[in-house]
Structure 1
Amino acid sequence: MKAFTRSGVVLTAAVLSLSLAACSASNEEPPAGSSESAASTSEAMTELAGNLQGAGASSQESAMDAWRAGFQSANPDVTVGYDPVGSGGGIEQFLAGAVPFAGSDGLLAEEEYTAAIERCDGDGGALHLPMYISPVAVIFNLEGVGSLNLDSETIAKIFNGEITKWDDDAIASQNEGVELPSTNITVVFRSDSSGTSENFTDYLEQTSGGAWPYEATKEFSTEASQSVGADGTSAVVDTVTSTDGAIGYADASRAGDLGTVAIKVGEEYVAFSPEAAANIIAASPLSDTANGENDLAYAIDRTTTDSTAYPLTLVSYHIVCAQYDDETERALVTSFEKYVASEEGQAASAEAAGSAPLPADLSAQITAILDEIAAA
């Protein structure tokens, strides 16, 4: 099948046109490499038809809206849906076969990799394709204060309930000249299984010098007596917005008018930005649990002292099968994902969500991987 998918765009276009929309009344194939061949391929790609549903990370919601609109505009007979139920819920639906791809801010666990082998109808199992790079913002609601400087030890102690008031010396000493009230701190966290929580707690675990006593996890826990759980990114942002003295964490694209934290990196305090988020990805290796060379699952190194990087960054993936048991489903998934990874798709998400566009070489690598995805 790999030999088939690599043999040329003409055969691929022919399969798509026969199985999805029958692009031409003629049974003759144009010669490979001809202008007629290229035109037929373009026509076949616009004749995709069907319903493609995904589920997962709510961090991707704004970007996904832009991707859906762009892809459906080019393919009017395709409907793309996405349920921003959270990374854990998306993975659960994917492994159950309810959706053909999942969005996730975290990586599959070992047992989930194993479950994906059966779900994906072949030994190839599941693959992570990084599609959305975005900083995670520490957001807060404190009247008259728009930004604060905090190191990771202080952030950890706030979120675990050891620092309970905004005028605590640990906060004030890093923010000279800022008038801090004695307001109680309310910790707002994700109550659902969340890849954003996993990235946030991974940052605290790696950088706080032991002040965060838990391992990185999608299921957030805290000892803070004044804390509120919220289901999904929107609920976290809404709860922080409506609660004086609240602090939380969310994809930076959703921070809006809330106060945000510049986190300490080396000797500097670094505010979030797409450029700084992309820099931390460039310095990180692939995870040693990755499922072969086509599985682009990153192990983010958040311990950098390079102040051009923002270590509290999430890489949000689309998790797909290395093989599908239906050609139409394979065509819909791979065509959509190629659009998402393309320069056009990445520009759409950058405009809609403030994400960092994928590097060109990474985009090309993803496209090559998608070309190898087979139908049983």
Structure 2
Amino acid sequence: MSRGIELKLSTKTRALPVAMALAGSLALAACGASNESNSGSGSSDASGSAEQLSGTLNGAGSSAQQAAMQGWTAGFSKSQPDVTVNYDPVGSGGGREQFLSGGVDFAGSDAYLSDDEVTKAKDRCGGGDVFELPNYISAIAVVYNLPGVSDLNLSPDTVGKIFSGAITTWDDPAIKADNPNAQLPSTAITPVHRGDKSGTTKNFTDYLAKAAPNSWTGGAVDEWPTQGGEAANGTSGVISAVQAGEGAIGYADESQAGSLGVAKIKVGSDFVKPSAEGAAAVVEGSQVKSGRGQYDFAYDINRTPTDPSQYPLVLVSYHIGCIQYDDAAKAKLVQAFESYVISEDGQKAAADQAGSSPISDTLREQSQKAVDAIAGK
């Protein structure tokens, strides 16, 4: 039997009265994957033959993972109905902070741990190894609200100038150069950015820093570095703010764009729309970050491909946790949940629910090694 999903939303204001902050807790009854302790099977088992577990897992983090988590828990609960997973979509930074302080069992993050956070994570894990498992690949869309303009091209430099405040109206010559056949109005541009600590912001600014270094000098950061524009909390807050303001532009998980315009960004000599296929392709062409532990699969994304089949404005979302937990029962719950998340069934559930790109077989095989190693002291 499956459990329900309770989603509580509260409205907050931050620079825009209409910007909604995704501050509620996502209570997800879930679990499951075939998970014979340290068996390494790595596939879900909805038939009931998996070891039946009970208990509660607590996680927090990425609001962009919200839809994927719904897909994972709906499938997970079929084989483990007596396990509850509580997930609070407070944002990637908040999730990492809660995990590092010991407040939750795992974090969901759209940015990998910084070197300083890796050190803190090892301390939180009792000096043991830390896992960072890619579980969600998604294109980040540059979304806009400009009536009458249904097709918009933006080069990396133009995007950088818009979000740094150097371009302030839609009929700016730089935008016209990217869109020579468009009828662009003189409407003022309102750039909308995340007001909370965000992995989506970290990926967006990493893209700007690498693809448009001459127009973006704010670096790759998870807290918005410049003054101006409008701030909104959470993915839903950015979407709501852009929807509410004519001339607004923002960035968000592509699966949440809804009816907003979605810009094409320049890759090589072409302008490319975000897609699951393009997001997966660019990750395949990227490298694991060097100098990490044997179960840490953080990826440095190639932000400057020239192949138009690759979409470089992408985030890889992670689940972050300990390889060794103090409580053996807790370790079994984490192992069971993560085994389902990375399985083919779990990835399909996320793709169906969130429009994300399933991780590749290579990533799954890497991650399975970490899942197999999860244990209690």
SS at match of 1:163: coil
Q: Which amino acid aligns with 1:210?
A: N
Please say if residues 46 and 74 of structure 1, whose CA atoms lie closer than 8 Å, have aligned partners that are also in contact.
no
Q: Distance in 2 between matches of 1:161 and 1:250?
A: 19
Please say if residues 205 and 220 of structure 2, whose CA atoms lie closer than 8 Å, have aligned partners that are also in contact.
yes
SS at match of 1:164: coil
Match of 2:182 in 1: 178
Q: Which amino acid aligns with 2:126?
A: D
Runs of 4+ in 1 over 6 A off after TM superposition: none
SS at match of 1:122: coil
Q: Which amino acid aligns with 1:368?
A: K
How far residue 158 of structure 1 moved from its aligned partner, in angstroms, is 0.3
Q: Distance in 2 between matches of 1:278 and 1:96?
A: 32
Please say if residues 56 and 104 of structure 1, whose CA atoms lie closer than 8 Å, have aligned partners that are also in contact.
yes
Q: Distance in 1 between matches of 2:166 and 2:307?
A: 28
Aligned residues: 338
Provide, for residues 65-102 of structure 1, a one-character-per-residue CA deviation record: whole Å limited to 9, x for no partner.
Answer: 11111111221111112111011000011011111110
Higher helix share: 1
How far residue 52 of structure 1 moved from its aligned partner, in angstroms, is 1.2
For residues 326 and 90 of structure 1, do their structure 2 counterparts lie closer, same or farther at Cα, with a shift above 3 Å needed?
same
Structure 2, unmatched stretches of 5+, are 1-34, 40-44
Match of 2:254 in 1: 252
1:204 aligned onto 2:208 = yes
1:106 aligned onto 2:107 = no
Q: Distance in 1 between matches of 2:63 and 2:92?
A: 7
Please say if residues 68 and 81 of structure 1, whose CA atoms lie closer than 8 Å, have aligned partners that are also in contact.
no
How far residue 361 of structure 1 moved from its aligned partner, in angstroms, is 2.7
Match of 2:173 in 1: 169
Q: Percent identity?
A: 50
Equivalent residues in 2 for 1:160-309, closer than 5 Å: 160-224=164-228, 227-290=229-292, 292-309=293-310
Q: Distance in 2 between matches of 1:49 and 1:267?
A: 54
Please say if residues 158 and 174 of structure 2, whose CA atoms lie closer than 8 Å, have aligned partners that are also in contact.
yes
Q: Distance in 2 between matches of 1:361 and 1:10?
A: 22
Q: Distance in 2 between matches of 1:306 and 1:145?
A: 27
Structure 1, unmatched stretches of 5+, are 1-8, 14-39
How far residue 179 of structure 1 moved from its aligned partner, in angstroms, is 1.3
Q: Distance in 2 between matches of 1:243 and 1:42?
A: 49
- Structure 1 or 2, whichever has the larger Rg, is 1
1:358 aligned onto 2:364 = no
Please say if residues 136 and 312 of structure 1, whose CA atoms lie closer than 8 Å, have aligned partners that are also in contact.
yes
SS at match of 1:79: strand
Q: Which amino acid aligns with 2:308?
A: S
**TM-score, normalised on structure 1?**
0.87
Q: Give RMSD over aligned pairs.
A: 1.8
1:347 aligned onto 2:348 = yes
Give 1:63's match in structure 2, choosing from 65, 68, 83.
68
